[in-house]
Amino acid sequence: MEIFDVAVVGGGIAGASFAYRVAGRRSLVLLEAEAQVGYHSTGRSAAEFSRQFQNETTGLLADASFDFLAAPPAGFADVPLLTPRGNLVIATGDRLPQLDAAFQEVRQTSPDTRMLSLDEAMDMVPFLRRDYMAGAFYDPACWDMEVESILQGYLRIARRNGADLRTGHPVSAVVRENGIYRLDTPQGPVLARTIVNTAGAWADRLAAMAGLGPLGIVPHRRTAITVDVPAEYDLARMPGVNELDESFYFKPEAGKLMVSPADATPSDPCDAQPEDLDVAYAAHFLEQSTTLPIRTISHKWAGLRSFAPDKHQVVGFDSRDPGFFWLAGQGGSGILTSPALSEWAAGLFLDGAPPARLARLGLQPTLFSPARLLARPDT
């Protein structure tokens, strides 16, 4: 039976982007539990590229990912992966000082951000409720992402470079014998010299199968709905809207309006489903801040955003098992950071050091290392 250099477990954006970087340089098999790739978090995102309100590390990863998505390598995709959207941040009257502070912060990394009069904000999003909003700023540095094309682009090139991609292969047990891992699946065992953990919400569960204690990566459920908007409004040209404290946001999505109550409820890893209360909150926030009539909710869904306790990504070999590599904990930015994070991961995995281009930005391996979490009392 073939012994692969690498078994990547998890076929979301993390596994796909890692396979893209490493296939052709190592023999690689990618094992995805579901019948299709991207079924969990990757297929349920808001598809937004913005570095607004990201922590500093994620902001740097976003910056370092932008060029790849704006001008992907030849053959990666036949559609643009980024489409300008822009973003409006709105605040109620009691929050104006905080709005100004947020404006100053966003402007440091997005210098074209500008304060708007209420009239200007209403021009951009005519169905906003004027008596709800006391102030607003506009950040043009926000794009819609073509998530499915990004995912398929990574996988197509990985496959071309020899990656063996297997869907419908849930890994149920991991055994290490003579330096080789045996990963059990219903279709039979797969042998590999190293494991890359791109299992998303299941990252700690996969580690447990390999005999490693958890790092404390916790999935958090987030809900979204889409609603119809009267035809008089031109959604194509409208920015997304975020409430200042991110208690909710909405944005155009395929001819409808996507609304999220920005919930973050800790959850077990699972096929996340929307709870009625969160759906009701989404509708409530939209009714509170806009004049839109909500007649029907055309679609509702929930997905999991998985965070380490310190909210930084988890990338690197596990100090307890030198054959076990983590690429997890991407929280709410796993797609937009995937170009740079996978480049970083591949540098560590293949060369033992991050790529110089990324190290120069000031990113440090210790920031992402699994070992930093083992030292925490809450892990």
Which CB sits closer to ligand FAD, 135 or 307? 307
Distance CA 121, CA 108 (A): 21
54-113 positions binding ligand FAD, by CB under 6 A: none
Which CB sits closer to ligand FAD, 61 or 135? 61
* Span interacting with ligand FAD, options 31-39, 67-75, 237-245, 286-294, rule CB under 6 A: 31-39
Listed as own residue / partner, the contacts of 202-209 with beta carbons closer than 8 Å and 24 or more positions apart are 202/10, 202/269, 203/306, 203/314, 203/326, 203/328, 203/329, 205/269, 206/9, 206/10, 206/171, 206/174, 207/318, 207/324, 207/326, 209/171, 209/172, 209/173, 209/174
Closest CA to 121 of 110, 132, 111, 112: 132
Sign of CA dihedral 349, 352, 354, 355: negative
CA angle (78 as vertex; 73, 83 as ends), nearest 5: 90
240 binds ligand FAD (CB under 6 A): no
339 binds ligand FAD (CB under 6 A): no
333 binds ligand FAD (CB under 6 A): yes
Which listed residue (47, 155, 195, 292) binds ligand FAD by CB under 6 A? 47
Distance CA 89, CA 109 (A): 15
Token reading at 247: 């208690």
241 binds ligand FAD (CB under 6 A): no
155-184 positions binding ligand FAD, by CB under 6 A: 170-171
Q: What are phi and psi of 93, to 5 degrees?
A: -55, -40
Token reading at 350: 């293949």
Distance CA 342, CA 18 (A): 5
Shortest approach of ligand FAD to residue 134 CB, angstroms? 27
Which listed residue (335, 341, 345, 373) binds ligand FAD by CB under 6 A? 335
Which listed residue (240, 332, 347, 370) binds ligand FAD by CB under 6 A? 332
User: For residue 11, what is the enclosing H or E element?
Assistant: none
Shortest approach of ligand FAD to residue 130 CB, angstroms? 28
Which listed residue (336, 341, 348, 373) binds ligand FAD by CB under 6 A? 336
Which CB sits closer to ligand FAD, 87 or 113? 87
Which listed residue (6, 7, 8, 13) binds ligand FAD by CB under 6 A? 13
Residue recorded with tokens 């004027």: 130
Shortest approach of ligand FAD to residue 192 CB, angstroms? 13
Shortest approach of ligand FAD to residue 69 CB, angstroms? 10
Which CB sits closer to ligand FAD, 202 or 324? 202
* Span interacting with ligand FAD, options 8-16, 22-30, 284-292, 354-362, rule CB under 6 A: 8-16
Distance CA 359, CA 352 (A): 13
* Close Cβ partners of 355 (under 8 Å, ≥ 6 residues apart): 343, 344, 347
42 binds ligand FAD (CB under 6 A): yes
* Span interacting with ligand FAD, options 45-53, 105-113, 130-138, 315-323, rule CB under 6 A: 45-53
Positions in the binding site for ligand FAD (CB under 6 A): 9-15, 31-34, 38-42, 44-48, 170-171, 198-202, 206, 222, 224, 303-305, 330-336
